[in-house]
Amino acid sequence: MRKVPDGQMMRPNRKTNGSGIQAPETRICVVMVGLPARGKSLIAQKVVRYLRWLSVDAKTFNVGQYRRTTTPNPSAEFFDTSNAEGERMRKAAAEAAVTDMIKWFDNGEGLVAILDATNSTKARRRWIQDRCDAANVQTMFVESKCDDEELVMSNIKEVKTTSPDYLGQDPEVAAQDFRKRIRNYEKVYETLDEDEADLTYCKLIDVGHQVIINKIQDYLQSRVVYYLMNLHIKPRSIWLSRHGESEYNLSGKIGGDANISERGQMYAKKLPEIVKQSAGDLELTVWTSTLKRTIQTSKYLPFEKLSWKALDELDSGVCDSLTYAEIEERYPADFKARDDDKYNYRYLGGESYRDVVIRLEPIIMELERSENILIVTHQAVLRCIYAYFMGVDQAKSPWMEVPLHTLIKLSPRAYGTQEERYSAKIPAVSTWRGKGSKAQHEDPGPGQGTVDIEVNGKPTK
Ligand code: ATP
Ligand code: F6P
């Protein structure tokens, strides 16, 4: 490995468009299209979370929220197009959202905005297109079309009856009113078609069973389309575990390809039981890294296993196999630089957290396509995957505590992810390190390993 003197070792890796490649910055407005209860807000939120995870600044502008400032609890009649006052107020809300969005672009606050509304007529879409053209913002329309009445009704029950629009109302009455609201939209709804062949669009039919794309223009747009094509809404969970405690963990060394310790073995043997407790009889698929410690940890799991190089631990380059104290002694400037900006700091001859996120992107895509997956991986990689699902920001994610011998279950829900943690109650050293510390096994504070099951941070036993 080439040795570079201290001070030349900080290799900033600048913000990119998510590809890891610097590219001219295009600004895109993703315009959602579709009748109510077709998953537009859910799709918008997921796209924003995905882009932010890839370091692309993105934000949703939800027209419903603007409308609620003047009409917080409208009944279905408000959405009848023959209601002139309703029409005027809805147009004003759309106007306010678009104006704020353009300001947001002009202030240089981000590259991708999602305009979340029904945008269900050709006239409304043309108006948005014209506003964006004038502001030099590209538009990309994303329509969710779904005629499955049963699915729509279950969507209404799942998310609409608890909407702030129906605060304090009987859920049955709310569901019926929402159904009427949809009928009003149906009277004027125009799906994207040949008349709009000049527009850039992606039309998702029946939750992506069919996808029609038109005039997709650049890298970022095609990333978004590819992401949308991989989404599904079947109920499922993702289980995450670090490998069992390793020989390197015991000695406080980072990286390497060590075997698991005796206590790590105990965890490997107990893991099938904990998984059964959490997943019942579900058939899971296990993904590991290519390193011995994850393969050894998954040995007793009675499921199909796949090893991914992309799940290998963050490469610590010249610091591989050193303890934090040794790194501080040999590379003091680097040690400090990493603490100053842990997400962006790239080890000499190795990787940064930002690099890990980029190599994990295909894993995230595959996870979105899949159903029940258990991933046995490493501290830094697990932090990055967790950050994607939980929307943890970049400054915080590299400092999160992810204890050994703990199974994490993440279950995506309509507007968020539910988390459960199962402790194996098998002692292990701590590999967590606070800013500035070079302790071999630092105590991360109270809480670790003290509960059997936690749901979203709250003990249940
Ligand atoms: P509104 O116009 O009232 O804001 P919306 O289209 O934004 O409605 P959401 O609030 O996102 O709808 O609805 C979420 C529900 O839609 C969830 O129950 C989710 O499972 C479901 N869903 C997600 N994606 C799709 C899809 N592509 N087609 C139909 N339903 C979907
Ligand atoms: O110590 C265990 C380990 O997985 C190392 O192999 C790796 O370098 C480190 O954790 C990543 O954690 P951090 O980014 O906090 O140093």
Q: How far is the CA of 366 from the centre of ligand 1 (A)?
A: 22
Nearest CA to ligand 1 atom 9: 39
Mean pLDDT in residue range 199-210:
96
**ipTM entry:** 0.87
Q: How far is the CA of 451 from the centre of ligand 2 (A)?
A: 24
CA angle 128, 133, 137 (to 5 degrees): 95
Conformational region of residue 24, where left means phi above 0, alpha means psi within -120 to 50, and beta covers everything else: beta
Mean pLDDT in residue range 433-449:
76
> Of the given ranges (14-18, 268-272, 339-343), which has the lowest mean pLDDT?
14-18
Banded pLDDT at 416 (limits 50, 70, 90): confident
| Residue 13 pLDDT greater than 60, yes or no | no
State the closest ligand 2 atom to the C-alpha of 319, by its place in the atom list counted from 1.
8
User: Ligand 1 within 6 A of 205 CB?
Assistant: no
Nearest CA to ligand 1 atom 24: 39
243 is catalytic: yes
329 is catalytic: yes
Banded pLDDT at 459 (limits 50, 70, 90): low
> Would the pTM of this model clear 0.90, i.e. be above it?
yes
| Residue 205 token pair | 């039919």
Q: How far is the CA of 428 from the centre of ligand 1 (A)?
A: 43
Handedness of CA 96, 221, 356, 383 (dihedral sign): positive
User: Ligand 1 within 6 A of 42 CB?
Assistant: yes
At 124, give phi and psi (nearest 5°). -65, -40
User: Ligand 1 within 6 A of 233 CB?
Assistant: yes
For β-strands 458-459 and 453-455, DSSP reports them as: antiparallel
Of the candidates 243, 351, 361, 405, the residue annotated as catalytic is 243
Going by the annotation, the residues of the binding site are 242-249, 293
Pocket test for ligand 2, best of 431, 432, 437, 442 (most atoms within 8 A of CB): 431
How many CB atoms are closer than 10 A to CB 217? 12
CA pair distance 113, 105, nearest whole angstrom: 8
Mean pLDDT in residue range 422-443:
91
Mean pLDDT in residue range 88-107:
97
What's the confidence (pLDDT) of residue 404? Answer: 97
Q: Which of 241, 230, 226 is nearest to 279 (CA)?
A: 241
| Residue 160 pLDDT greater than 60, yes or no | yes
Handedness of CA 39, 45, 50, 56 (dihedral sign): positive
| Residue 23 pLDDT greater than 60, yes or no | no
Ligand nearest the Cα atom of residue 166? 1
User: Ligand 2 within 6 A of 152 CB?
Assistant: no
Q: What is the mean pLDDT of the chain?
A: 92
What's the confidence (pLDDT) of residue 451? Answer: 44
For β-strands 406-413 and 238-242, DSSP reports them as: antiparallel
Residue-range domains of the chain with CATH: 28-230 (3.40.50.300), 238-423 (3.40.50.1240)
Query: CB of 161 within 8 A of CB of 174?
Result: yes
The three state secondary structure string of the chain is CCCCCCCCCCCCCCCCCCCCCCCCCCCEEEEEECCCCCCHHHHHHHHHHHHHHCCCCEEEEEHHHHHHHHCCCCCHHHHCCCCHHHHHHHHHHHHHHHHHHHHHHHCCCCCEEEEECCCCCHHHHHHHHHHHHHCCCEEEEEEEECCCHHHHHHHHHHHHCCCHHHCCCCHHHHHHHHHHHHHHHHCCCCCCCHHHCCCCEEEEECCCCEEEEECCCCHHHHHHHHHHHHCCCCCCCEEEEECCCEHHHHHCECCCCCCECHHHHHHHHHHHHHHHHHHCCCCCEEEECCCHHHHHHCCCCCCEEEECHHHCCCCCHHHCCCEHHHHHHHCHHHHHHHHHCCCCCCCCCCCCHHHHHHHHHHHHHHHHHCCCEEEEECHHHHHHHHHHHHCCCCCCHHHCCCCCCEEEEEEEECCEEEEEEEECCCCCCCCCCCCCCCCCCCCCCCCCCCCCEEECCEECC
Distances (CA, A) of 368 to 168, 172, 229, 237, 274: 35, 33, 10, 11, 24
| Residue 3 pLDDT greater than 90, yes or no | no
Task: Give pLDDT tens digits for 366-398.
Answer: 999 999 999 999 999 999 999 999 999 999 999
Task: Give pLDDT tens digits for 306-342.
Answer: 999 999 999 999 999 999 999 999 999 999 999 999 9
